[in-house]
Amino acid sequence: MNDNQDLTKRRTSIGAQRNPASQEAILQAATEILAERGPGSFSIEAVAKRAKAGKPTIYRWWPNKAALLLDAYHRQKNPNLHTDTGDLQRDLTWFLTELLAFWRRGGCGAIFRSVIAEAQTDQAACEALAAYLAERRKHLGAQIRAAQARENIGAEVNPELVAEMLSGFAWIRLLTNRLEIDEEEAGKVVKTILDGIRGRG
Amino acid sequence: MNDNQDLTKRRTSIGAQRNPASQEAILQAATEILAERGPGSFSIEAVAKRAKAGKPTIYRWWPNKAALLLDAYHRQKNPNLHTDTGDLQRDLTWFLTELLAFWRRGGCGAIFRSVIAEAQTDQAACEALAAYLAERRKHLGAQIRAAQARENIGAEVNPELVAEMLSGFAWIRLLTNRLEIDEEEAGKVVKTILDGIRGRG
């Protein structure tokens, strides 16, 4: 067996298993570099160097920069955005207010902004972002669906479309760096949507 | 008077005047390069070379890449997004459907995506984008305000906040490359918002 074959074999085996310690070291390095240098100067090369990992290893586990950035984003201390008080207006206002507050804190918003930026020039990154958004939409949609009967929301309402309207508002605020929102304004956005989907009479 | 002062004076004077022919050549070059190479490989250097202009000239008129991209975006054949049929549901559905169709056509959406991406790593670009959005919000907001009395929309409703909800939905579709929308879906989004802001009873 020559060295090349040996290497290929080892690589395939590592790729299939994902060594948790290396993975953690890579994500930790990515998070540190993001905090120190900002997303504009973030590179796989710098992550590889700091984590003492090979670039091929990183690319085997994260096919593109956006996928690695998304995982680093998930590692941030995420507040509980989804509450269930039995009052959808209150739960969604909480969601919107807390999401924007989370993005304002310690670079979390900066990481997500760079994921979105990355997705605009890289097709695979865009698909990763769309898949992430679909999952978020499902989660928030389920919360709205659960309240559908209880809060007189019409059966024809598509909860995922409603969830996307709320996310779109959060994104446009993030992307134009206007994350300051008070509960009153957040409440108005949510109320507009909820009054729109609640049955009348 | 030393050379430096002279240069400063000349620069101020050229900057204030903006030579229309050079300006046009630069925007034309930017548009061609965007169409040929895509926004990912777009650079001021390439624009300067093609337009036979100096990089300092370009930077004097457009302080950053995003400002130049925004102007190139404006040069695209923009459909009339703002109609006034006297029926706000119809006008806003038209706005949303046509905006997404415009973005689907011939790279217009790609240019705007690159403006947004650029704004995520460059503070000045972000301010240019926020200013552009504020202007759009005002325009769409005025359309909603005009219908406020006629269509029983409460006086407490902030038309610009409503406009931003609609733009946010359009942006999230653009940024995740999901621009296909039919009139029914667009109509549902608009109806949710309008039912939400119309008075009841």
Q: Is residue B81 part of a domain?
A: no
A171 to chain B nearest CA, in Å? 7
Which amino acid is located at B55 in the chain? K
Mutate one of A100, A165, A185 to test the B interface: name it (highest B CB count within 10 A). A165
Say which CATH number the domain at B44 has. Answer: 1.10.10.60
Kindly list the residues of chain B whose beta carbon comes within 8 Å of any beta carbon in chain A: 38-40, 113-114, 116-122, 126, 129-130, 133, 157-158, 161-162, 164-165, 167-173, 175-178, 185, 188-189, 191-197, 200
pLDDT digits (tens, 9 = 90+) for A39-81: 777 899 999 999 999 999 999 999 888 889 989 888 887 788 9
Q: What is chain A's mean pLDDT, rounded?
A: 86
C-alpha distance from B182 to closest chain A C-alpha (Å) = 13
Whether A118 is covered by a domain: the verdict is yes
DSSP-based three-state secondary structure for B175: helix
The total number of structural domains that make up chain B = 2
CA-wise closest residue to A44 among A53, B137, B148: A53
By C-alpha distance, which of B72, B52, B164, B56 is closest to B118? B72
Amino acid B27 reads L
Q: 3-state class of B144 per DSSP? A: helix
**B118 and B42, same domain (yes or no):** no
Q: 10 Å Cβ neighbour count for B183?
A: 11
- Show residues of chain A in contact with B172, CB under 8 Å: 133, 164, 167-168, 171-172
Give the mean pLDDT of A174-189.
95
**Looking at beta carbons, which residues of chain B come within 8 Å of A188?**
158, 161
Within this chain, do residues A146 and A182 fall inside the same structural domain, yes or no? yes
In a domain? residue A134: yes
Complex ipTM value: 0.85
Q: Is residue A145 part of a domain?
A: yes
**Contact across the interface for A120 and B121, Cβ inside 8 Å:** no
Does residue A71 sit within a domain?
Answer: no
Please list the pLDDT of chain B residue by residue as tens digits (201 residues): 333 433 334 344 444 466 877 899 999 999 889 888 877 778 999 999 999 999 999 999 998 888 899 898 888 877 889 999 999 999 999 999 999 999 998 778 988 998 999 899 888 889 999 999 999 999 999 999 999 888 888 888 899 999 999 999 999 999 999 999 999 999 999 999 988 877 654
Compare CB distances from B39 to A121, A162, A194 and report the shortest one's residue: A121
Bridge partners (DSSP) listed for residue B153: B198
DSSP B76-108: S---------S-HHHHHHHHHHHHHHHHHSTTH
Same domain, A47 and A97: no
Q: Searching chain B, which residue's CA lies closest to the CA of residue A39?
A: B121
One domain for residues B47 and B137: no
Residues 6+ apart with CB under 8 A from B150: B86
Same domain, B93 and B41: no
The pLDDT-based confidence of A137 (bands split at 50, 70, 90) is very high
Q: Which of B61, B79, B110 is the last residue of a domain?
A: B61
Q: Do residues B94 and B174 both lie within one domain? A: yes
Note whether B94 and B134 are same-domain residues.
yes
CATH number of the domain where residue B153 is located: 1.10.357.10
Nearest chain B residue (CA) to A113: B120
B79 occurs within a structural domain: no
Asked if residue B76 belongs to a domain, the reply is: no
For residues A172-193, average pLDDT: 94
pLDDT of A189 above 90: yes
Q: What is d(CA A18, CA B9) in angstroms, rounded to the nearest whole number?
A: 62
Residues A165 and A126 occupy one common structural domain: yes
- Measured between CA atoms, the residue of chain B closest to residue A190 is B196
A91 touches A150 (CB < 8 A) = no
Interface-testing mutation among B34, B121, B132, with chain A (most A C-beta atoms within 10 A): B121
Alpha-carbon span A137 to B64, nearest angstrom: 35
Structural domain for B17, as ranges:
3-61
- Closest-CA distance, A192 to chain B, in angstroms, reads 4
Is residue A8 in some structural domain?
yes
- Give me the helix-helix angle, B108-119 and A108-119, nearest 10°: 150
Which residues of chain B lie closer than 8 angstroms to A178, CB-CB? 130
State which of B16, B42, B61 marks the end of a domain: B61
Find the chain A residues whose C-beta atoms sit closer than 8 A to any C-beta of B.
38-40, 113-114, 116-122, 126, 129-130, 133, 157-158, 161-162, 164-165, 167-173, 175-178, 185, 188-189, 191-197, 200
How far from the centroid of its chain's Cα atoms is residue A189's Cα? 21
Distance from CA of B105 to the nearest CA of A (A): 16
Q: How far apart are CA A106 and CA A87, in angstroms?
A: 30
A9 with A48, same domain: the answer is: yes
